[in-house]
Amino acid sequence: MDPDPTSTETNSPAVDSPSVSYPAVNDPAVNDPALDYLSHVAHDSARFQEAVRQTSPGTPVPTCPDWDTDDLLWHLTEVQSFWAAIAARGLTTFDDVKALDRIARPGDRDGLLTSFSKAASDLHHILGTSSPEMPVWTWSDDQTVGFIRRRQAHEALIHRVDAELAAGDRTPMDPDLCTDGVDEVLRVIHAGLPPWGRFTPDPTQTVRIETTDTGRSWLVTLGQFTGTDPEGTAHDEPGSRERCIAAGASAYLRKPVESGVLLSVIAKVTTAGENDKSRLKP
């Protein structure tokens, strides 16, 4: 799902430079201009709606534990409506984006389906009639409609899968789009640093991630992220563990993570969960 678009005015630095990547990604970008993002948006939005229709209101979404399929339907409606409005109005500043009116959630399934159909249609039409190079605000360094096309293709795909899992009716995923999704995760979603953060790569902690069905791979160097955000919260600084545990965290891991420590923490947390069913949400 999209990060909260109004949560920050900070954009991450360029992700093509290994010196600022977080984690550091050293292989060339996969973003394939031959990928027809608009077709994927249309196809996966339609399949998403079809899968939702196969479920009853209140059906839980296994990959989104706090949501049912109506919540999932409304989420994608909001996301597609939001980005369609940005592109349609050519908004280029965060202040303009914050001033957008929030759409109201309908009270029943039929209303939700109608709202989603409109949002999906508007998004596809607006993205299809706007130049990919057109400048618009995004939460990325890439401030163009092209970014929205790519991001919304993956947004529709992943929530289509959420809906299919809820309906118990999986269909194949396009391997080239999935490969592009891996690249987007590494270079955009989890790349770059806020201006208040620091990343120290550890050259002994480099792994290769490979998409075995499409033959692409990325070298990812892990390391240490530190810094204090504008709200005054220290991230992985001295005292971070104590503050996290005091706030209710079950465990704390510090990067780089050793496999033995990770397995030990997983075993500890899952055992605690089994012994305290009251902490588990239905």
DSSP the chain: ----TTS-SPPPPPTT-TTT-SSEE-SPP---TTS-HHHHHHHHHHHHHHHHHTS-TT-EETTEEEEEHHHHHHHHHHHHHHHHHHHHHT--SHHHHHTSPPPPPPSSHHHHHHHHHHHHHHHHHHHHHS-TT-B---SSS--BHHHHHHHHHHHHHHHHHHHHHHHT---PPPHHHHHHHHHHIIIIIT-S--TTEEEEEEEEEEEEEEETTTTEEEEEEEEEEEEE-TTS-EESSTTHHHHHHHTT-S----SSPPHHHHHHHHHHHHHHHHH-GGGS--
Q: At what angle do helices 109-129 and 37-53 cross, to 10 degrees?
A: 170
What confidence tens digit (pLDDT) does each residue in 68-100 have? 999 999 999 999 999 999 999 999 999 999 999
Q: Which CATH code of 3.90.1150, 1.10.10, 1.20.120, 3.40.1660 fits the domain covering 24-184?
A: 1.20.120
What confidence tens digit (pLDDT) does each residue in 196-245 have? 888 888 888 899 999 999 999 999 988 888 888 888 877 776 666 676 67
Residue range(s) of every CATH 1.20.120 domain in the chain: 24-184
What confidence tens digit (pLDDT) does each residue in 15-59 have? 332 323 445 555 544 456 679 999 999 999 999 999 999 999 999
**The pTM is what?**
0.74
